[in-house]
Amino acid sequence: MSSIDNNELFEKYYQKEYDFNTTSLSLDEIDAIKKLAREKRVDYASAPMGIGVFNWIQKQSSDIRFELVSFESDKIDGMLYIPTMGKERAYIILNSNKPLVNQAFAAAHEFYHYIKDYQVFKEKPYICDFSMLKDVNEKKACRFAAEILFPEEALNREVRDYCRSLRATDFKSLNFNQIASFIIVMTVKYQMPLKAVIYRLEEEHFTENVEKYIENYGFIKKVLQEIQIFSEPVSMLYGTVNNFIIPYSKTYQDMETSFITGNASKEDIIEDAKILSLDMDLINELVEQDEISDDEEEDDEELFSIINAKRG
């Protein structure tokens, strides 16, 4: 396998912090994203998904693996890694130093790239080349994540119910404090980054002055973090602990090693997997193989050498 300069590669390929503003997308592009999001979240309808997005993504495809990595740079939110050889699989790598609420958005963002850009990334060695996809594709991925976590139908319903509770006829007629309160409640209920919730109001045309709320983002977030009744969910969302995914390298790979080395029988592996509620498709695939292929070992070595180059 070709040698690579890990430092140079990371500087070029890492996924920068997301820009939640997607208003520059065309109506056709937005319609296509909305349609895709509706198709993918059909089991949720308009109900909140939030941190359930991790489990949801893993159920979408058994070829997707999650990795939590402590990156030195706080500019890195996540990335999609496609091995150049071996099985048709992908790694969604999340920055474990980021708040859980950001990790959830990043996971949905990278899942869009997995759906739409898999072959492009497969043909570009080592790591998906975001610089080649230009800003419009990043905005599409962000809008998809926003639609997955807080779909249009849910936002419309929430706005309607909120206005009714205040006996207001139009959301735009509400004052700053009333809209800021709505933003805070939606951030907690839909477990989505506060700034992304602000932009959802602009995206669905519920405000024409989004700058006012972006300028006061720090103030609104401070209020969010000081509301006593929200202290527990906010502490979880803005903490970095993620117990909602099982990184492939920690659990599945350990079970795979135990099976290959003969330390655990096929029956033991299957029984343990059921107790842990693991993906049985993956487990069955694991116990049916006789040995780890050379290609897969090279893929993992490639992935972890890249990660370790910038790991904090």
> What SS3 state is found at 78?
strand
> How confident is the model at residue 260, as a pLDDT?
77
Residue reference for tokens 């996971």:
107
> How confident is the model at residue 278, as a pLDDT?
64
> How confident is the model at residue 294, as a pLDDT?
47
* Burial (CB count <10 Å: 0-12, 13-18, 19+), residue 34: middle
> How confident is the model at residue 298, as a pLDDT?
54
Q: Which tokens in the block code for residue 22?
A: 């997607």
Contacts of residue 166, Cβ cutoff 8 Å, sequence gap at least 6: 174, 178
> How confident is the model at residue 32, as a pLDDT?
95
* Whether residue 16 has pLDDT greater than 70: no
**Range of 23-32, 74-83, 259-268 with top mean pLDDT:** 23-32
Domain ranges of the chain: 1-312
> What SS3 state is found at 64?
strand
| pLDDT confidence bin for 192, thresholds 50/70/90 | very high
- Taking alpha carbons only, the member of 50, 192, 196, 60 closest to residue 115 is 60
Q: Which tokens in the block code for residue 254?
A: 């350990």
* Whether residue 7 has pLDDT greater than 50: no
| pLDDT confidence bin for 134, thresholds 50/70/90 | low
pTM above 0.95, yes or no: no
> How confident is the model at residue 197, as a pLDDT?
95
**Sheet of 90-95, strand order:** 64-69, 90-95, 78-81
Q: Which amino acid is at 56?
A: W
> How confident is the model at residue 8, as a pLDDT?
43
Q: Which tokens in the block code for residue 87?
A: 């099985």
196-206: pLDDT as tens digits: 999 999 999 99
**For residues 43 and 236, what is the distance between their CA atoms, to the nearest angstrom?**
25
**For residues 141 and 147, what is the distance between their CA atoms, to the nearest angstrom?**
10
| pLDDT confidence bin for 34, thresholds 50/70/90 | very high
Looking only at the bridges linking them, the beta strands covering 64-69 and 90-95 are parallel
- Taking alpha carbons only, the member of 102, 111, 144 closest to residue 16 is 102
> How confident is the model at residue 186, as a pLDDT?
96
* Whether residue 300 has pLDDT greater than 80: no
| pLDDT confidence bin for 63, thresholds 50/70/90 | confident
> How confident is the model at residue 130, as a pLDDT?
44
141-177: pLDDT as tens digits: 999 999 999 999 999 999 999 999 999 999 999 999 9
How many other β-carbons are positioned within 10 Å of the β-carbon of residue 243? 9
